[in-house]
Structure 1
Amino acid sequence: MPNDIDLLIELALREDIGAGDVTAEYFVPDSKLVRAMMLVKADGVIAGLEVAEKVIRLVDPELLVKLLKVDGDSVAYGDHVMQIEGSAKSILTAERTALNFAQRLSGVATKTATFVQRVQGTKVQVLDTRKTTPGWRMLEKAAVISGGGMNHRMGLYDRAMVKDNHLVAESGLSDLQVAIDTLKAEKPAVQVELEADTLAQVQGFLSLRGVDYILLDNMSNDQLEQAVAMRGTAGPRLEASGGVNLDSIASIAATGVDFISVGALTHSAVALDISLEFFDL
């Protein structure tokens, strides 16, 4: 985990604990030792366990933590995914923050897995987007991987994605080619993706050098099939996007596109129900 994840965890703990956990301080004896089991209360895909473990160890390095599952494992109601032993006071202080991370990230992984299952048997890869919780992007994109999906660009820095609003500034294909050539010369590792709203744009973009991907935005399945035929067996890889849901993704995959990006993987994921059960030692 990168250092900024440590900062995120520290901020989350500071937000929850503040000046101190008054409930644990006044109502839980210092000497009380327990075993706590992290219990999954719904079927899904687990993610965020290493983050939850880090939360617990930051609260109290003396707690004994054992992971019983790993990120990406399928889980069912009643499964235990983590065991924690030690001070009841410390575990109770860490409980909510650790569960918040595990629940949210498992929700993203579970949501991703449901979409990936719908395109099994095709060549399509399911991508996430930048529609992530601010500050959580690295974690949520890791959860997408746990669910069987793939990451799109991480941010504005690792892929040039020229969308309709950017194209307003360009006067035509020749200016677009100049911009692509300049970028490739100065930053050869950066890939280029162009957004097309029409098949006419697809045709024009296919004539350009240095285009790695074409985003087919809100196109019908018939238009997607035509775009795939226009591209042929060589050329930029094609990504379908816009209004994708569980009912439509299989038919979109059947058109022959290479990728389908789904913002709902992160912006509409529902937290997986996970809790802690306490037992006396």
Structure 2
Amino acid sequence: MDGAELIAGISMKGVIERFIEEDLGGYIEFMPEGEAKAEIVVKEDGILSGIREAGSVFEYFNLLTDLCFEDGDPIRKGDVVLRVKGDCRDILKAERLALNFLGRMSGIATLTHEFVKRAAPVKIAATRKTTPGFRIFEKRAVVAGGGDPHRFNIADMVMIKKNHIALIGLERAIELGKGVSFTKKVEVEVTAAEDALRAAELGADVIMFDNMRPDEIREAISSLEARGLRERVLLEASGGITLDNVSEYAASGVDVISVGAITHHAVWLDFSLRIV
């Protein structure tokens, strides 16, 4: 799934209108009409994301835009990423929303890219720890940074977590989960090697090692291999994973590492708009 597919199915115009209404409120026009040119400059190195969204904001106000880079491109301090011209009043109305898209999404893409580099060739995935109402754009930013968006919503996969197991037990949870639809994979969260073995034996498609140390995960994988179960399942590590230890988790033998921090701990990249 790429960034374009993630945006499909939603009305970009409708989203932009909602965000503009929030930002402008009861805006009172005080600037005189006049043609102007402006450019958006990045003030630090990073990975770009949100350029199409920023362009859409300006285009909503019937401004002419020139996108100088694409999502996923590396950018350097001082690069001009977008040029715009038209009524100066409309440029100023669109400025903050366009910069917010770029700052937030590029921050996520930049952090994701760093995780991807350190974990290679193991895949880095996002989680559902996102900003309500902004998930589609945060997931697109993960894709721009080279990561996998993982589930977009709770219906994308049957995820069996410890609370499900506490309520009805692992065997019953997997039985019910596999009965949802033949199109849905069943993922089980485990915290010990014996749980991973049982989940694999019961037919789980994906096993997520939750908050387990790399050495514990290696032990669990060895047990799966010894029972001839390793090739049946996709293995995911999650919980407590940082830039400092992600390479250790990548070396443990998992297929995927999911990291909530790439969305909820990403620092905005700094952009500014200047009239030229």
**TM-score category by the smaller chain?**
over 0.9
Alignment of 1:167-246 (within 5 A): 167-173=165-171, 175-183=172-180, 187-209=181-203, 211-232=204-225, 233-246=230-243
Alpha-carbon spacing, 1:172–1:164, altered in 2? closer, same or farther (3 Å): closer
1:82 counterpart = 2:55: no
Match of 2:56 in 1: 54
Show structure 1 runs of 5+ residues with no match: none
Q: Which residue of 2 aligns with 1:18?
A: 25
Q: CA deviation digits over 1:237-256, x for unaligned, max 9?
A: 11001110010000110111
Unaligned runs of 5+ in 2: 1-6
The residue type paired with residue 86 of structure 2 is G
- Candidates 123, 140, 143, aligned match of 1:142: 140
Task: Report the Cα offset of residue 266 of structure 1.
Answer: 0.4
Change (3 A) 1:270 1:171: closer
Tell me how many residue pairs correspond in the alignment.
Answer: 265
The normalised TM-score by structure 2 is 0.92
Q: 1:159 aligns with which of 157, 160, 167?
A: 157
**Aligned AA (2:129):** K
The alpha-carbon deviation at position 208 of structure 1 amounts to 1.3
Q: Distance in 2 between matches of 1:11 and 1:181?
A: 39
Provide the rounded CA distance (Å) in 1 between the counterparts of 2:86 and 2:173.
Answer: 62
State the shift of 1:172 in Å: 4.8
Cα distance in 1 between the residues matched to 2:195 and 2:12: 40
Once residues 180 and 114 of structure 1 are traced to their aligned partners in structure 2, the CA distance between those partners, rounded to angstroms, is 35
Map 1:121-136 to 2 at 5 A: 123-136=121-134
- The CA RMSD over aligned residues, in Å, is 1.4
Structure 2 distance, partners of 1:152, 1:80, is 32
Superposed displacement of residue 147, structure 1: 0.3
Q: Any conservation in 2 of the 1:8–1:135 contact (CA below 8 Å)?
A: no
Q: Describe the SS at the equivalent of 2:168.
A: coil
Alignment of 1:68-107 (within 5 A): 68-107=68-107
Distance 2:170 2:163 in 1: 14
State the Cα distance separating 1:188 from its structure 2 match.
1.4
Amino acid across the alignment from 2:187: E
Q: Look up the match of 2:32.
A: 29
- Identity percentage over the alignment? 39
**How far apart are the structure 2 equivalents of 1:251 and 1:178?**
34
> What are the Cα deviations for residues 137-164 of structure 1, in whole angstroms up to 9, with x where unaligned?
1110010000011111111111010000
Mapped to 2, the partners of 1:263 and 1:172 lie a distance apart of: 25
SS in 1 for 2:222: helix
Cα distance in 2 between the residues matched to 1:37 and 1:220: 47
Q: Deviations over 1:9-64 (max 9, x none)?
A: 222110111122x3xx22x321x212111100010001011111111111x22x11
